[in-house]
Amino acid sequence: MLGRLFDRQPAQGSAPARQALSGPKFMRHSGAWALMRKRLTTEQGLRVLDVGATSASNINLLTGMGHSVYMADLIHEAYSEDWTRGEDEDGKRIWDVEGFRSRNLDFSGRQFDMVLLWTTLDYLPEAFVAPVVDALSDAVATGGQLLGVFNLKMQPEHAPHYRFHLTGTDEVELQLAQPVMLQRALTNRRIEQLFHRWSGLKQFLAKDGVSEALMTR
């Protein structure tokens, strides 16, 4: 479910994290975050949508830089029982896509300047992938940017789900999060199709089996 909007004032009565993040952590360089961080340090009052379990470090870093943060834990929500409507004749789950979109992707007219999508699309049920991208495309202002991270190979046993924590450097901190099975490895062609309303795709290939992408709306 979408979290509250955090501004530069201390949050009053904010909800606790939906889930405990207590797994191992490690650092990795992020070329996409390095570029985003430069913009965040030169502009003021940006609205940032951070997709993932509530991260106190992300909230503190971004609000401390003078920006607003909105949280959307889409993976946690996607796998709740709220969106399962039984099975079809082939035994596959029937998902309530409209219900999921209505509750989790209604931004009440807000327009964001940045989206930290991370690896969300790799772990969502297939039925939610295109609707999530469409909703984000509608909710990002012209010139807004999106940071996505994509697994290059379909190897679920080697691709645990991580939460990404921002730092004041060009590195991000990864922490094991809610156990979710990798659902797909998106090809460049599929990424281009999903984000056909976006431009300026810049990719960063890494040695750890992932590709980062920075896109402009």
Tens-digit pLDDT profile for residues 45-97: 999 999 999 999 999 999 999 999 999 999 999 998 899 888 888 888 899 99
pTM for this prediction: 0.88
State the DSSP code for 160: -
Residue 175 lies in a domain: yes
Q: Which residue has the tokens 């460049």?
A: 188
Q: How many domains does the chain have?
A: 1
Residue 69 lies in a domain: yes
Q: Which residue has the higher pLDDT, 51 or 6?
A: 51
**Rounded CA separation 137/22 (Å):** 32
Q: Which amino acid is at 111?
A: Q
Are residues 83 and 96 in contact, defined by beta-carbon separation less than 8 angstroms?
yes
Q: What is the mean pLDDT of residues 12-40?
A: 74
Residue 16 lies in a domain: no
Residue 29 lies in a domain: yes
Residue 181 lies in a domain: yes
Instruction: Find the CATH number of the domain harbouring 120.
Output: 3.40.50.150
Domain that holds residue 117: 22-216
Q: For residue range 98-109, list pLDDT tens digits in order.
A: 999 999 999 999
Q: Counting beta carbons within 10 angstroms of the beta carbon of residue 9, is it exposed (0 to 12), middle (13 to 18) or buried (19 or more)? A: exposed
